[in-house]
Each structure stands twice: as structure tokens, then as C-alpha cells.
């Protein structure tokens, strides 16, 4: 039960949690004003405030405080309406939103609620970017083995760009024609981190790892003939690379690679 202006009204769990959050926030801010708590300590407490309950999802509005970037939505397996509601709620509190692995019909549902959302058909991603005037930081390069790997490479590049980075690209530079990769050697050696995306046998990250002195993030894709086993063969190749300094994300996880590259580039500045 919650007190109301006309007596007592029924309070839902969501209402009660908001009341508790508001009380706690007021207490923290009052203690900051009185000098009992520093701004840094207050931020540390705010990081742990609860989430927004939607029933089918719990929105972590404070992830940007903890991680430096808002919660990212994995769209696959969700209905268009679920994606639309989640995106709307995230966009109500954040200047950047990223939704991955979605089809155009999902975007149509999102656009009805978030008019400034954009769809990127190659990467199959939705973005909201209200921080376009923020300077972009160079240092990330994304390369991929073949044209069929571009969707995953674009997911990585788009993620890094939304996180405030300028990304260079070199696509269709696989080891079957390694001279195509070597044409981009100057750019590779200027990068602070390289994302290498490849299907088939997945040898590209090993070659890149032998040419540069920076971290290489390897991304196996599900592209390949039968014995690539939907990306398992390139995944194992990358995990067994003899080149040092290579980390490996999961099959088709361009988002994870782009996110990690952005974190590395931020630390390297």
C-alpha cells in the first residue's frame, strides 16, 4: 500500500521500487550537499541503483555509469514489440542506443516509438545517436577475409563508432590473396587495435597478428563450406593461433569485438 492524496491507494512492486529509489537518491544528494559524502562516493553508490522492470525485461539504466556505455540490446529471439519498448526506454535516459541482430520489420516497430532511430541493413543493427557532435578518436581498424564476412565486420565497426571512435576498414583482404592485406600494412601498423573477421579456415587474425605490435581481436564467422561447421573451424583456428597478442570472441560476435576494441582504444589514449 502507498499513501496518496485521497487516502490509501494500491501500490505495484514497480511503484514501490521507484519510491525506494527516489528516497535513496534524495538521501545521497542531501549527503553530498551537506558534505558528508563526496561526489565520487555518491557516484559509486548510484552505480548500484536498481533497474527498470518491464515484466519481460529489466532495463539497466546505470550501466553507462559502471561500464562507460549504455546497455546494448541483443535483438535476436525478441519480438519487434519487445525490441521497440526496450529501445524506447533506453533512449529515454541515454543519448546512444545500440540494438544488434535485427531485421527491417523490427526497425519499423522501433521507429514508431523512437523517430530518430536509424537502421543499418548490412550490420543488421539499429542505432540512436544523439551525441554525433562528440569528437571521434582514431586508433581502430577492422579487416575481414571475404565479402561474405562484411556484415559481422560492420557490426564491429558500427559498435566502435557509436562508442566514440573513428574506424578504418579494409574488407575482402583474406589470406587467399594476401597481397591485398599487405597493401593496407601502413594503416594496420598505425592502429592501436585491430579487429580481424574471418570465416572459412579463419587464418586472417594469425597473419595480422604476425604483422602488427598491437592487440588483435579475432572474430570467427559462420561463413564457410560444410567442414567449417558453422564457424567452429575458424573459431578453433583462432584459439590455436601461434601469433601472440590475439584475443578471440564468439562466432559472429561482431558487437563483442567492436566493444572490446573501443575499450582498448580508450585505455590507449
Count of domains observed in the chain: 3
pTM of the model: 0.82
* pLDDT confidence of residue 23: 66
Q: State the Cα–Cα distance between residues 18 and 238, nearest whole angstrom.
A: 47
* pLDDT confidence of residue 65: 74
Position 22 confidence tier, pLDDT thresholds 50, 70, 90: low
Range of the domain at 1: 1-48
Q: Does residue 230 share a domain with residue 171? A: yes
Q: Does residue 9 share a domain with residue 106? A: no
State phi, psi for 17 to the nearest 5 degrees: -65, -40
In this structure, the number of other CB atoms found within 10 A of the CB of residue 63 comes to 17
Q: Does residue 259 share a domain with residue 238? A: yes
Which DSSP category does 95 fall into? S
Position 5 confidence tier, pLDDT thresholds 50, 70, 90: very low
Q: Which of 107, 132, 157 is the last residue of a domain?
A: 132
Q: Which of 99, 114, 132 is the last residue of a domain?
A: 132
Q: Is the pLDDT of residue 52 over 80?
A: no
Q: Of 79-83, 129-133, 148-152, which range is least confident?
A: 129-133
Q: Is the pLDDT of residue 102 over 70?
A: yes
Q: Does residue 245 share a domain with residue 182? A: yes
Return mean pLDDT, the chain. Answer: 87
* pLDDT confidence of residue 105: 92
Q: Does residue 145 share a domain with residue 123? A: no
Are residues 236 and 216 in contact, defined by beta-carbon separation less than 8 angstroms?
no
Are residues 145 and 200 in contact, defined by beta-carbon separation less than 8 angstroms?
yes
Q: Does residue 244 share a domain with residue 198? A: yes
Q: Which of 64, 98, 132 is the last residue of a domain?
A: 132
Long-range contacts of the stretch 4-11 (C-beta < 8 A, 24+) = none
Q: Does residue 203 share a domain with residue 161? A: yes
Q: State the Cα–Cα distance between residues 17 and 54, nearest whole angstrom.
A: 13
Q: Does residue 209 share a domain with residue 116? A: no
3-class DSSP state of 170: strand
Q: How far is CA 123 from CA 57, 69, 149, 180, 197, in A?
A: 24, 19, 10, 23, 13
Amino acid at each position: 500500500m502507498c499513501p496518496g492524496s485521497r487516502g490509501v491507494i494500491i501500490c505495484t512492486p514497480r511503484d514501490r521500487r521507484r519510491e525506494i529509489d527516489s528516497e535513496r537518491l534524495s538521501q545521497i544528494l542531501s549527503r553530498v550537499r551537506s558534505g558528508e559524502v563526496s561526489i565520487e562516493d555518491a557516484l559509486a553508490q548510484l552505480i548500484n541503483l536498481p533497474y527498470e522492470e518491464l515484466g519481460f525485461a529489466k532495463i539497466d539504466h546505470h550501466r553507462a555509469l559502471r561500464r562507460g556505455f549504455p546497455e546494448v540490446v541483443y535483438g535476436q529471439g525478441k519480438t519487434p514489440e519487445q525490441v521497440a519498448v526496450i529501445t524506447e526506454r533506453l533512449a529515454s535516459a541515454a543519448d546512444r542506443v545500440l540494438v544488434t541482430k535485427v531485421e527491417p520489420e523490427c526497425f519499423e516497430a522501433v521507429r514508431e516509438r523512437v523517430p530518430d532511430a536509424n537502421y543499418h541493413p548490412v550490420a543488421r543493427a539499429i542505432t540512436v545517436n544523439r551525441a554525433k557532435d562528440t569528437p571521434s578518436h582514431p586508433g581502430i581498424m577492422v579487416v575481414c577475409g571475404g565479402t561474405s564476412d562484411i556484415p559481422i565486420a560492420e557490426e564491429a565497426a558500427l559498435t566502435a563508432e557509436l562508442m566514440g571512435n573513428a574506424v578504418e576498414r579494409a574488407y575482402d583482404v583474406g589470406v587467399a590473396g594476401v597481397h591485398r592485406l599487405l597493401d593496407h600494412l601502413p594503416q594496420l601498423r598505425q592502429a592501436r587495435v585491430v579487429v580481424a573477421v574471418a570465416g572459412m579456415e579463419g587464418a586472417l587474425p594469425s597473419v595480422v597478428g604476425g604483422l602488427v605490435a598491437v592487440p588483435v581481436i579475432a572474430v570467427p564467422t559462420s561463413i564457410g563450406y560444410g567442414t567449417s561447421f558453422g564457424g567452429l573451424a575458424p573459431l578453433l583456428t583462432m584459439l590455436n593461433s601461434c601469433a601472440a597478442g590475439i584475443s578471440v570472441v564468439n562466432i559472429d560476435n561482431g558487437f563483442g569485438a567492436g566493444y572490446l576494441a573501443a575499450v582498448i582504444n580508450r585505455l590507449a589514449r
